[in-house]
Structures are given as structure tokens and as C-alpha cells.
Structure 1
Amino acid sequence: MSKSFKIIVSTLTVLLLIGVLSSFAFPLSISAEESSAPKNLIPIMTSNDSPLGHTTASSIWASRHQPFNLFNGIKDDAYGWASSQTKPFGWVSYEFDSPVVINQFALWPRSDITQDAYKNETPKDFTFDAWDGDNWILLHSETNVTDWQAHVEKVFSFSNEKSYTKYRLNILNNNGLSGFTALGEMEMYHTVTATPEPTALPTSSPPPIPTNLPTPTPDVSSGDRALLTIELSSGAEKEYDLSMSEVNAFLNWYDSANGSSRYGINKHNNNKGPFSNRTEYVIHDKILTFEVSEYTAQ
């Protein structure tokens, strides 16, 4: 066997092996956009009650336009759901088996919208609502939606963090058709907004501490005792007869504490009853003002 013939056979063997392997266990790559696409939370419905959940509508144009047709997974559906109501133009709903959070939905027109005569059947003004057990809660509204195109979805997003079991599309006006309003398909999603990773701030050295600051002049007390009067945010006023060392200890605590930090003050000769000591506690963020009135004990 010639050398060139061996090379050709080897190349064909490798190509055949690659083809066989690729047809088995290697899935096609999925783009980031496809993998992050929201998932429709409504199963493909085959009737108004199957396979899961329940679909209802305020009215239907004809039996072939049942509400479940709006959730049957056929985005080019010529039938879809159609309402025979006018002003308002009707609603269609889907009820989940258990509460879910919905904050986005998509709508498709019927495939017959390629004919200009059918463009007027699409919703123009509508709301997306949730049922709380007693009332319909407005989650989102749209007005003057006129740019429907064949085979093109319209996606609507809004803020909602609460779970509901039942949601509906409520059509207030269509785009001009007097006989009925229709849509081809509808999907509902729960999208999660990604939280960006925090960016680390650049580190820097603290500024040098000056060494030539003037020496502070010590505060010379004008007495050895003081009345500490504290006014609380509740309007109550507390007064304590204390030594200056106790007052200074309170002042040091007040300057360094915050929030719900508490401080115990000895009530001394204000004791009542057979107690060796009584301590009253004050909370830092409950103190509105305080006053220190110094005096010299006689």
C-alpha cells in the first residue's frame, strides 16, 4: 500500500469517527441569549383544564376560539382565542395550581393578521391583572398598542414580587374591529434581574497623623458635683444628683456610644425600699438633650 493511500484512508477514518461521535453525546452549543431566555410558566394546554391549571374567558366568539387556544403553544395559530364582547372587549385568564410570581408576559397576534382586514382585531388598550381572592389587582397597563405584526411577539415587563394563583389579560379597547377581539398566543414568565458583582474600590494609605497639633487645655470643673438633667424623646425628663466623676463617665459613654446602647445611672439617695442600690438605664438614641449643672458640695 502506498504512503499517499494510507494518508487518505486515515483522514477518512478520522472524519467518519467525528461524524459518529457528534451524532451521539455532544449537544449543540446554546448561546448566552438562548440560555438566559425566561421560561413560560404555563404548560401547553390541550383543553381549558388540561394538563394543569384552568383557563377561562369572559366570552368566546365561537367554539373553536376557546381560551385554552391562547396557551396551546402554537404561535402561528389561525384560531387562538376570540372574544365577542365590545366596550369592554373581554378578558382571558389562566389559573395556576399554586401561587407563582409573574412579572413579564408575551402576546402573539393570530396568523391571519397577514391580511389587513384582521389587524383591527388586536388589543389596543389593556391591563394585566392578578386575583388576590377578593379583587383583581392591576399589575401593568398598556395604551395605544397599534404596531402589531404577523408572527412577531410583543413582550411586556413590570415590577411584581408577590405570588398569585390567577392572572388575566383584560382588553379595554381593540384596534377598530366591531365584531370581536382576538389573539393567537400568550405566555407568562418570572424573570430575575441579575445583581451585579460589587467592584472593589482601590486601596489607599491613610493620611499621616500630624505631630505638631497644639496641646488641648484641660477643662477645669467649677464644682465637685452636678445635677445631670436628661430630656428623653418621649418628653420625659430625668434628673440625677451625681459626683463629677460619674457625670464625666456618662459624658464619655454618650460621645462613644450610638443606637440602642444603654447606660446605667446610680440613683444614690433616691433609693426607695429595702435596696442597697438602684440603677436607672437610659438608651442612647432616646436621649433628646441633657444638661450638666455643676456645684460644690457644702
Structure 2
Amino acid sequence: MKLTKKLLMSLVIAITMSLSVSLLPAFAEGSWDTVSKMPTERMAFGVEIVNGKIYTIGGFNNAGVLGTVEEYDPETNTWETKASMPTNRYGFEIVTVNEKIYAIGGFHSTLENSDAVEEYDPETNTWKTKASMPTNRAALEVVTVDGKIYTIGGYDTTTQESLDTVEEYDPETDTWETKASMPTNRATLEVVTVDGKVYTIGGYNTTTEEFLATVEEYDPETDTWETKASMPTNRALLEAVTVDSKIYAIGGYNNNTEGSLGTVEEYDPQTNTWETKASMPTNRYQFEIVTVNEKIYAIGGLKSFFESLDAVEEYDPETDTWEIKTSLVTNRDGIGVATTDGKIYAIGGGDGWDSYHNSVEVYTPNYDIPVITNPTNLVATAEDSQVTLTWDEVADADYYIVRRTTTSDLEYEILDDEVQDISFIDTNVENDTTYYYVITAVNLIGESEYSNETYATPEASGIEDKDRAILTITLVTGVEKEYVVSMTTVNDFIDWYESKANREEGSAIFAIDTTSDGRKTDYIIFDSVLMFAVAN
């Protein structure tokens, strides 16, 4: 069976490119909000996000095949027309490497595929024609591994055959290299990466005229293929995504069985096994899929050739359950989908083959993850004209906020509101001044409570430290208090502690001045002390 025009169109319009940037949600949770429309109605276009802005590229509408490029800024809710792509096309693949967008292959028209490779630089709003892909094709898949782009499989309209071709593109050198062929030729497959390995899943083989369950693993490091356990269900036009290193194959199409599918199957690369999961409530293909907070969202698509959908459904891999969510405002397929700021954007698309959209809808999922925990074991180390902070990593934290004060009223100022590591160096300090620090952890839900407070007093190098020590007091609550004090203070504390332990008379409270000018004093109650330690 050669591909008919109608089936070919259906088999090449699945384009899903998404990038997640985790910030705080702004829209009402669990609903779709309509925002500014894309200037050009179209479907089967490419979508990429660079520096928080969404780029829609190419596609087609009633006017024909397009090279149109438009940029959406979620912060200002505005669109701006950009330099057009040199080659008008749809059904191509699109990927970002080093903040530059690469458009690869695709269709000039319904019967003419392309080898064009073009690079767009959002910073300069310019396109560059790059070395052509060695093999003309569309309905291929593209992945990136270690900065290299791999083009896999696809369809050649000249021969009307699916392909096993694998070619590697190096953006640094603008060169192509032919790699070991995929064992099974196919188009409209799905490709995902796990731990640096590439997995090709399902698809349609024109030689055998069948929908496939085939799974093959490619190792870019050794340029070798290995056949893996097949999917339980033969299908093409499916969607696949990874969550916690497991691959989820969802939906798709098989004309030899029931047409559109709601099948969900999970593949574990470690054990090379498949497990059938709860089916998606709505059978569909040519839909879009994204993950937010490790939950999978299936959006729009087709139930049949001329029945587009508004259905939005959420899958939780942890509980193996689906939940029907608020529907799209507009039924559509061939849409562009992107995620940023914890929100899902559904852009453009079509309804059937003669109705095109430019509407943009934004969905904010309901977040039910636990409130993020506060960081622990914050330690400050003083040096000459700087203080180094370290703390324990917080699970699910996207970044940290560092705060500081030099007073005892705990009104902290923010030093850095997006620290990616679990350490921070404060160089905006003066020697012989004591600084107090706390940090918080931040994720999609919000900000944690403060960490433990710590402090340090930077000093010029060369100062004699033999009369100073670190006194660490552990309270019965488990809280540790650390003080850099003179040996006189240490000895006074030990004498006080021993006298109270021996039930001698005297105050049950020991005062420690934490600043040289006495602006902050900690009062230690004997019964609250579990243990203490002294270090030089």
C-alpha cells in the first residue's frame, strides 16, 4: 500500500517541540485562558522556546506552505513578526542547540520533501543556510545528544518509501556524517533519549505495509543499534515521553485494527520490558503531549481524519491514573504546544483540512505536590573579604534564594534570588563585621521556610587566630548554634556549664555576644543544652 495524499498528510503533521522553564504560575489553576492571537493562522508548524520567548515557524494554511516566523513574549502577551525562514515548509523537525534554532527536512508541498537545514538566531533575528542533510526526507525524527543532532528514519516522497537512514549533524563544524542505519526502515515513529541512548519506537513501514511495534536502541558513542523488546501494540503517529527514566508510549493510529488508539504502554530500558498501563480516556492521534511536574498532558488531536478534538487529559505515572481536565476552547489538531513558567501554551492548528486557527490558549495545571521543605545545615565560612555558604540539597528545588542581615531584628535583604548550586560566595562584605544568613528553596509551588540561621565575621588575612575558637552548641531540639568567640568566652562557658551540671548556685542562663559592638546577644539556657563542641 503506497501512502495516499490524505494518509500522508495525516502521517506528517505531528510536530511537538517543548521546553520547560520552572517559575511561579500566574494564571488560574486548572483552566484555559485565551491570550493574544498569533498573527498568522496555520497548522503543522514548528515551535521552540529560547530565553523564555516562543517561536512559531513555517507550517501551512489556505495560502499554501509558509516560511513565516512569529515570536510570542508571555510576559507582555505580545506577538512580533520575525525574519522568515528561507525555505517554506511544513512537517519538518525543529530543535534548539546553544540558543539557536535548527529547521531540518520537511515538505515543500504535499509531494516534495526537503533536505534543507537552516539556522535561526533569535538574538540577531537572522537565518543562515547550513549544509544540507544528505538525504531528502520528511516525517523523520530528530534528537540531540551531547550537542550533536541525529536525524532518524522518515519518508521519501520520490520513492514513496520509508527510510532507515541515520545522519549526524555537528552545529559547531556545520558538517554531516552518515551513521549506522536503523535496522527497520520506518516513518512517523517516535524517538526519545534515556541516559544518552536513543530509542526508536513504532512507526509505519511502507516496504511491509504495516504499522510497527518495533523498538530499537541506538548508542551514539559506539554507532551501534540493538533490537529491544517490541511494544505490545503496533502503531504509528503515537506520542512518547520519558518520566523518571521510563518511556511512555501513548495513543497513535493503526488502520489495521481500530484506527485511533488510547493505548498506554510503559517501557523500562533497565529491564527491557513493557507493561500495559491505564488507557487514555480519548482515543487519538496527531495530538500533542507535554510533561509538567512529572505528569503527562495529552492535548487536542484527531479521533478520525476529520474529527478534531478539544480533549485535555492528565496522566499520573505514579498512580497509573488518568484525569479529564478542562477542555480546549477550540477543537484542533496540528497545533503547536510549548511549556514555560509552569504553563502550557496551545497555539494555532486546524480543524479538519480547510479551517485554520491562530488562537492561543494557556493552561495552568493544578499543582498537588507537597510544599517544598526548607534547606538544612547552612554553614558560613569566613575568609578575607568574603563569606562562603554551603547547605544540603533540597529535593525538587529549582533554585535557592540567599538572604543576609547585619542586625538582630531579622529583616533580611536578598543577595541573590536565583542560585542554582548549593553554595554561594558573598564578596560584598567588610572585614570585622558579622553577617547573618538564611536561605530558602523555590520550586513551581513556591518558596520554603527559612533555613537555619548562620553567621560569619570576615577578617583580613594575617590576623592571629590562636585566641579564637568555634563553639558549637547543640540544643535538645536538635538545632545547632555556632559561635566564633574568644577562648576566654569558651572557658567562661565551660566553667558555667560545669557549675550548673554540678548543681552549683548561679544563673541558669549564659550570654554570648555575637557582635563586637554587642548589638546582638544570644542567651543559652542550661536545660536546653544537649551537647557542645569546641574547635580552633
TM-score by length of 2: 0.16
Whichever structure has more helix as a proportion of its residues is 1
More strand by share: 2
| Higher-Rg member (1/2) | 1
